[in-house]
Structure 1
Amino acid sequence: MLAFHRRFVHHEDENAHAIVVLWAAHTWAVQSFTRSPRLYVNSPEPGCGKSTQGDLIKFFSHNPRVLLGTTAAVLFRLIDKESPTLVVDEADTVFTANGPNSDTIRTVLNGGYAYGQKVYRTNMNTMVIDEFNAYAPVALVGIDNQAMPPTILTRSIPIKMTRATRATALEVWDEYDHEGYREYLEAQLIRLRDVVPYREKPDLPDHLTNRDAEIWRCLFSVANAVGGDWPDRVAAASGSLRWDEITSEQTKVLEGTREIFAGIKVNALAGQDLTDRINKTDGLDFLTAKGLNSILAAYGVRPKKSNGKSMYRRADLEASWDKWLDPLPIEEILPNLPVEGLGEVGEPRPVAMSVVVDSDDEDIR
């Protein structure tokens, strides 16, 4: 499987080939595990081979179903009825402001990461509560537009793709050219399912703790069952294919307000204006003025009315920046100070500035 996989896709991190293969193998024995990590195949731009990678995941996996746009109702009913491996193509379009039922889809994908999770719905014809199984392996394939919810990222293994160089020789993928191999592969993976230990808790490297341990445990079990150098491969991959840092959407928004005010010389901005600026700066195209109000209220920041507009004041935000965000590096602060605000040796000192704001509110002015 590994040699076959390398023929069609390029990965800068060689470990990614092994993890895609192991992840696909785990789908054949998914009922033996208490957790099924999400596989997040992403790239910064089109043309990096994501579609081919998604096709190969489908080719290798047990009972695959490719979703091109869906709703939460379809999602959990499909999982309950067919126990599939889900390959969500164009996942970058799901969790945006225009994504259909994105909050409910996120809930199903988050909950379905753990064995035994259910979705409950009332049957309006019988008034009986119906139960739907939500546990299933899921691969998400899409552009990394920074909209993927952190709760999904923390349950996933990232497979970051980049464009192959012209010198990289890859074969063109067509699944119909390999139907015979698929039949052979299925027989081998069914045999693997029978030898993977049920609910095993294998030894893990010291760097895998808490949620990371949950994510990787099933892949270590598969690697141990296969034997050879596979345990070493998965151990190496668990060190390189991890999220360095995951920032919540709420924190990104608060960081966005600080970045906006750092680049302007006004003491307040209208809610819609601040929302639009954050969306342009951070690519949070799902953010609305109502959403901004809700997020900042959780940090204790509320707008003040002025001339009929809801205005966010720099002074109100500063307390939240100090409490919730890491301090800005000095090199990010100094460029925003006027030249006369620097001492002879370059240290900042207070600067008096006159700022004009279109507002009748004395506090804002």
Structure 2
Amino acid sequence: MTEAELLGALQAQTRATAGGAEALEATERAIRRFVWFPEPWHLHVVTLWTAYTHLLTFSQSLPIAPRLGFFSGSPGSGKTRALEITSRLAANGQDVGSLSAAAMLRIISSAGRNEKPGGYPVTLFPDELDRTYSANSAGNQDDLTIILNAGYKRGAVVLRAHKDKQDEVIRYDCFAPVAFAGLATAKLPDALLTRTFVVHMKRARREERPDSFLPLAHAENLEHVRAELSEWASGAAVEIAEPTALLGLLLDGRITSVTDGRDHEIWSCLFAVAALAGGTWPERCLAALESAKAETADRADGSKSTRLLAALRTHYASRPANIWPVGISKQDAATAAINLDPLAFERFDGRDELRPDDVGALLREHGLKAVRVRVANGRAYGYRWADLQDAWERALPPLLEIEDEENEPNAPGSIFETQ
């Protein structure tokens, strides 16, 4: 493809496929009837992701299968119901409950032999991922993590040794969209979270509770909505059959200007659905993206090392007026983390609270090494704020900008070293 052709593809506006906006509206109504979400943009993300599973089955050129995760801090928040409803609306949805790595490979491989248009890939819906990724199951989830991470891209395979023939290796296709649910304490790996649209669920108040779902009464209606999505997706796939048309959609300036890297990979999938559907869906998708960024900036979810960095940044931002040591000791870092993020650090990995040695191990994941540094009470082994600032900028979303009149030489987020 010449540079001129590529430029033309990037600037091309893919026309909306007939019936797309209506199919997405029907999907959104069906989900909203039975599932309550704390924020409206959560519903938009789930609707677009559900529609994307259908587009994925008809367009063999779409390379990515983003994950969708429903999480909450307590049971009874609608996570399982969200999986149940979404599984009935997604393409080739299978509500599999607890899922092992071996079962997952066999389900995906079996679907790969389906020659019926729209029959591949299968969409999996495992529940209770907090049990899989818990302190008690450490080491048992490695195979599942590999499959969930690798199966995010089309063409991905995992290798397994033949049970009876030691000199033979079996290649298992592992490409499939996956939606899962679990308590917020699930220790999901960072690499998996970057591939996932995370929806934080909350228990609905009495006046917010959605309708109860009864398969006997409501399954037929959901199947009708699912069929509408499938029919629309089959036509929409024709619109992006040419590589230039698909590139023009995935690299549309409206999405590339606000995302990059892994964020662009997953959000361009939803934006492709929104652009093909037309109506107000492109604007809803972009608004959901901005809301997701804001929510991520406000939360410290993720690995323990990332949560530690977030706690230390908050601790630094709350320093006394214009006076702050050059660094922080490992002991003070542990204390600050426990005070600011007790959920993660009061009982670290199921035992006693976070210790100074734990701080060292976690921050080494971000390339930080303890050095002798001047702290409030003299000198101790710890970390320079300047080094932590670099780690914050690399690993954490930016803090919300403050007003100009509040910007002082020592505003939170800048490095001020006393002499």
Q: TM-score, normalised by structure 2?
A: 0.63
Query: Cα offset for 1:89?
Result: 0.6
Q: Which residue of structure 2 lines up, in the alignment, with residue 85 of structure 1?
A: 123
Structure 2 CA distance for aligned equivalents of residues 137 and 71 of structure 1: 16
Structure 2 CA distance for partners of 1:98 and 1:193, relative to 1, 3 Å: same
Q: CA-atom RMSD, angstroms?
A: 3.7
Structure 1 CA distance for aligned equivalents of residues 391 and 28 of structure 2: 45
**Secondary structure, in 3 states, of the residue corresponding to 2:198?**
strand
Letter in 1 for 2:280: D
Q: Which residue of structure 2 lines up, in the alignment, with residue 22 of structure 1?
A: 48
Query: Cα offset for 1:162?
Result: 1.4
Q: Which residue of structure 2 lines up, in the alignment, with residue 154 of structure 1?
A: 194
Match status 1:41 vs 2:64? no
Query: Cα offset for 1:65?
Result: 2.1
Query: Cα offset for 1:141?
Result: 0.7
Query: Cα offset for 1:211?
Result: 1.2
Q: Which residue of structure 1 lines up, in the alignment, with residue 217 of structure 2?
A: 177
Letter in 1 for 2:217: D
Q: Which residue of structure 2 lines up, in the alignment, with residue 216 of structure 1?
A: 267
**Secondary structure, in 3 states, of the residue corresponding to 1:7?**
helix
Structure 2 CA distance for partners of 1:300 and 1:39, relative to 1, 3 Å: closer
Query: Cα offset for 1:23?
Result: 0.9
Q: Which structure would you say has the larger Rg?
A: 1
Match status 1:53 vs 2:123? no
Structure 2 CA distance for partners of 1:166 and 1:87, relative to 1, 3 Å: same
Structure 1 CA distance for aligned equivalents of residues 271 and 343 of structure 2: 41
Structure 2 CA distance for partners of 1:26 and 1:264, relative to 1, 3 Å: closer
Choose from 284, 308, 317 the match for 1:233: 284
Q: Which residue of structure 2 lines up, in the alignment, with residue 111 of structure 1?
A: 150
Query: Cα offset for 1:281?
Result: 2.0
Letter in 1 for 2:292: L
Q: Which residue of structure 2 lines up, in the alignment, with residue 281 of structure 1?
A: 346
Q: Which residue of structure 2 lines up, in the alignment, with residue 343 of structure 1?
A: none
Choose from 322, 326, 331 the match for 1:261: 331
Q: Which residue of structure 1 lines up, in the alignment, with residue 132 of structure 2?
A: 94
Structure 1 CA distance for aligned equivalents of residues 363 and 274 of structure 2: 45
Structure 2 CA distance for aligned equivalents of residues 177 and 322 of structure 1: 61
CA contact (8 A) 1:43 1:144 kept: yes
**Secondary structure, in 3 states, of the residue corresponding to 2:135?**
coil
Structure 2 CA distance for aligned equivalents of residues 109 and 57 of structure 1: 19
More helix by share: 2
Structure 2 CA distance for partners of 1:160 and 1:122, relative to 1, 3 Å: same
Structure 2 CA distance for partners of 1:260 and 1:228, relative to 1, 3 Å: same
Match status 1:10 vs 2:36? yes
CA contact (8 A) 1:255 1:325 kept: no
Query: Cα offset for 1:239?
Result: 1.3
Structure 2 CA distance for partners of 1:70 and 1:98, relative to 1, 3 Å: farther
Please list every run of at least 4 consecutive aligned residues from structure 1 whose deviation after the TM superposition is greater than 6 angstroms: 253-260, 286-289, 325-328
Q: Which residue of structure 2 lines up, in the alignment, with residue 274 of structure 1?
A: none
Letter in 2 for 1:19: V
Structure 2 CA distance for aligned equivalents of residues 264 and 129 of structure 1: 47
Structure 2 CA distance for partners of 1:220 and 1:281, relative to 1, 3 Å: same
Q: Which residue of structure 1 lines up, in the alignment, with residue 321 of structure 2?
A: none
Letter in 2 for 1:112: G
Structure 1 CA distance for aligned equivalents of residues 181 and 76 of structure 2: 13
Q: Report how many residues are paired.
A: 307
Structure 2 CA distance for partners of 1:210 and 1:8, relative to 1, 3 Å: same
Q: Deviations over 1:43-99 (max 9, x none)?
A: 122222112111111111122223333332222232222242111211122212323
Query: Cα offset for 1:188?
Result: 1.5
Q: TM-score, normalised by structure 1?
A: 0.72
- Structure 2: unaligned runs, 5 residues or longer: 1-26, 112-120, 313-327, 336-341, 371-378, 393-417
Structure 2 CA distance for partners of 1:218 and 1:263, relative to 1, 3 Å: closer
Q: Deviations over 1:279-336 (max 9, x none)?
A: 75265449999x969767766879xxxxxxxxxxx944x14887456799xxxxxxxx
Structure 2 CA distance for aligned equivalents of residues 23 and 279 of structure 1: 30
* 244-253 or 135-144, which deviates more: 244-253
Structure 1 CA distance for aligned equivalents of residues 196 and 68 of structure 2: 5
Q: Deviations over 1:252-282 (max 9, x none)?
A: 46889989722899xxxxxxxxxxx997526
Letter in 1 for 2:150: G
Structure 2 CA distance for aligned equivalents of residues 286 and 136 of structure 1: 36
Choose from 106, 120, 125 the match for 2:164: 125
Match status 1:187 vs 2:238? no
CA contact (8 A) 1:253 1:278 kept: no
Query: Cα offset for 1:129?
Result: 1.4
CA contact (8 A) 1:26 1:219 kept: yes
CA contact (8 A) 2:35 2:81 kept: yes
Structure 2 CA distance for partners of 1:296 and 1:62, relative to 1, 3 Å: same
Query: Cα offset for 1:248?
Result: 4.1
Structure 2 CA distance for partners of 1:320 and 1:72, relative to 1, 3 Å: farther
**Secondary structure, in 3 states, of the residue corresponding to 1:179?**
helix
Q: Which residue of structure 1 lines up, in the alignment, with residue 323 of structure 2?
A: none
Structure 1 CA distance for aligned equivalents of residues 349 and 29 of structure 2: 39
- Structure 1: unaligned runs, 5 residues or longer: 266-276, 303-313, 329-348, 350-365
Structure 2 CA distance for aligned equivalents of residues 4 and 10 of structure 1: 11
CA contact (8 A) 1:86 1:137 kept: yes
CA contact (8 A) 1:278 1:284 kept: no
Letter in 2 for 1:102: Q
CA contact (8 A) 1:96 1:286 kept: no
